[in-house]
């Protein structure tokens, strides 16, 4: 089995699994309980928070959530509603994950004005984002790395420039695909454990000091009232273990990418959709072969890839089109996303299978 769908999710690493098991059997107290067992669990959470902050190289707060979908919802609704007296203008992009684009639609229904920028219409996308923010803008929201093509937006450049001109505009960054891979800058930043070999069902929201955020979930007032609900201590502990196990300064992805692109260049009718992108995501169109046909053909060979994005479930992705991919090419897009355990040999086997698939199905 060759797993090339790591942008959809990753295999939990051994460190994460054993941390979760140990925590479940030894440290199952409710972190809100006042006794020793509760305090033990609270310590686990505090340690995980410190690890997240140190990996992000930031000071501030960490709130644990059920995943980045919830983190994005919390940041977007939580800041927009907290700031609505000051203004109603929001700037975002047309390439966001649905956990950002759907909340944006809801905010439009509530009377917010949302401006969507498309990379394909901008010469320099960072400059376009910076210039779109004005004194009326309360929130700028964008992703560090796009999940479909790996397209990178330099969050450091955008954040620093926007905050310099408009310090009161909150910058929310969807850091899911960028975490542990590129530097992340924002007043609030969403993270997800299962993209970095943690376990599904836990994520985090970083918040810089002084940023106002209203809760989306009301209840027992855990996590400073920002996110009520008993914290999943075991998943949080596994998230911390995954972050600690994830290496810094990875060079392997660029080697794997280089090899894959060399192979793709040998095949005819391949269009590379990943431009200005991270090394671990390579999106390309196999002209004349529909994505799903290729996906299932590769699956028969034991190779797992994605058709564009696992989140768009067969629908033509608005993000691909905003990144300049034609509908026809989007219909034959294949996304290969690496983990550190993938090998050059696996890429060779993918290339052979692609060539076979092209021969059999190209129309
Ligand atoms: N944002 C991006 C860019 C993603 O790729 C994903 C996961 N596909 C999410 C948000 C949602 O994360 P989660 O699965 O943790 O809810």
Q: Please give the full DSSP string across 291-316, using - where no structure is assigned.
A: HHHHHHHHHHTTEE-BSS-TTSTTSP
Question: Is the confidence at residue 338, as pLDDT, over 80?
Answer: yes
Mean pLDDT of 14-37: 97
92 lines ligand 1 (CB under 6 A): no
Q: What is the pLDDT of residues 101-142, one digit of tens each?
A: 999 999 999 999 999 999 999 999 999 999 999 999 999 999
φ, ψ of residue 186 in degrees (nearest 5): -175, 165
pLDDT reported for residue 308: 65
Whether the predicted pLDDT of 316 surpasses 90: no
| Contacting residues for 182 by C-beta, under 8 A, at least 6 apart | 144, 145, 152, 155, 278
Task: Determine if ligand 1 sits within 6 Å of the CB of residue 67.
Answer: yes
Task: Say yes or no to pLDDT of 291 above 70.
Answer: yes
> What is residue 317's predicted lDDT score, i.e. its pLDDT?
85
Residue 149 has pLDDT above 90, yes or no: yes
What number is the average pLDDT over the span 20-36? 97
147 lines ligand 1 (CB under 6 A): yes
- 169 is known as an active-site residue: no
What integer pLDDT is reported at residue 87 of this predicted model? 95
DSSP code for 341? T
Tell me the average pLDDT of the chain. 96
| pLDDT greater than 60 at residue 313 | no
> For ligand 1, what atom is nearest to the CA of residue 311?
8
For the chain, counts of helices (H) and of strands (E): 12, 12
Distance 69 CA to ligand 1 centre (A): 6
Any idea of the CA torsion for 5, 7, 13, 17, to the nearest 10 degrees?
-100
Given this model, what pLDDT does residue 315 score?
66
Residue whose token pair is 């709130």? 63
pLDDT for the residue numbered 310: 47
Mean pLDDT throughout 167-177? 98
Q: Which of 173, 159, 201, 191 is nearest to 55 (CA)?
A: 191
Please compute the mean of the pLDDT values over residues 233-244 and round it to a whole number.
98
pLDDT over 60 at 314, yes or no? no
Q: Which atom of ligand 1 is nearest to the CA of 146?
A: 3
Decide if pLDDT at 66 tops 80.
Answer: yes
Q: Which atom of ligand 1 is closest in space to residue 70's alpha carbon?
A: 16
Place of tokens 């609030």: 188
Mutate which of 66, 95, 146, 147 for ligand 1 pocket (most atoms within 8 A of beta carbon): 147
Residue nearest to atom 16 of ligand 1 (CA): 69
49-63, 187-201, 213-227, 295-309: lowest mean pLDDT where? 295-309
Residue with tokens 């759907």, as numbered in its chain: 102
């Amino acid at each position: 089995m060759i797993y090339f769908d790591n942008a959809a999710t990753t295999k939990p690493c051994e460190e994460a699994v054993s941390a979760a098991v140990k925590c479940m059997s030894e440290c199952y107290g409710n972190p809100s309980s006042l006794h020793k067992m509760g305090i033990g669990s609270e310590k686990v959470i505090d340690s995980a928070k410190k690890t997240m902050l140190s990996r992000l190289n930031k000071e501030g707060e960490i709130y644990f959530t059920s995943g980045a979908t919830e983190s994005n919802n919390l940041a977007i609704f939580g800041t927009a509603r907290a700031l609505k007296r000051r203004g109603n203008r929001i700037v975002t992009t047309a390439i966001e994950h649905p956990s950002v684009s759907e909340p944006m639609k809801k905010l439009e229904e509530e009377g917010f004005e949302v401006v969507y920028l498309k990379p394909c219409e901008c010469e320099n996308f960072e400059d376009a984002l910076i210039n779109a923010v004005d004194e009326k803008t309360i929130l700028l929201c964008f992703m560090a790395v796009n999940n479909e093509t790996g397209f990178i937006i330099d969050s450091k450049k955008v954040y620093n420039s926007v905050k310099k001109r408009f310090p009161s505009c909150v910058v929310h960054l969807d850091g899911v695909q960028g975490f542990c891979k590129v530097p992340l800058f924002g007043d609030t930043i969403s993270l997800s454990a299962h993209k970095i070999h943690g376990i599904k069902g836990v994520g985090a929201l970083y918040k810089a000091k002084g940023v106002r955020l209203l809760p989306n979930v009301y209840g027992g007032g855990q996590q400073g009232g920002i996110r009520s609900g008993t914290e999943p201590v075991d998943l949080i502990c596994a998230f911390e273990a995954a972050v600690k196990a994830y290496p810094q300064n990875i060079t392997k992805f660029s080697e794997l990418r280089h090899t894959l692109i060399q192979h793709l260049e040998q095949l005819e009718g391949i269009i590379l959709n990943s431009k200005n992108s991270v090394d671990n995501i390579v999106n390309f169109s196999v002209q004349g072969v529909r994505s799903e046909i290729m996906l299932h053909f590769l699956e028969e060979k034991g190779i797992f890839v994605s058709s564009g994005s696992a989140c768009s479930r067969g629908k033509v992705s608005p993000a691909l089109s905003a990144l300049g991919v034609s509908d026809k090419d989007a219909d034959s897009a294949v996304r290969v996303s690496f983990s550190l355990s993938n090998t050059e040999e696996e890429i060779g086997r993918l290339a052979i299978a692609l060539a076979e698939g092209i021969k059999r199905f190209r129309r």
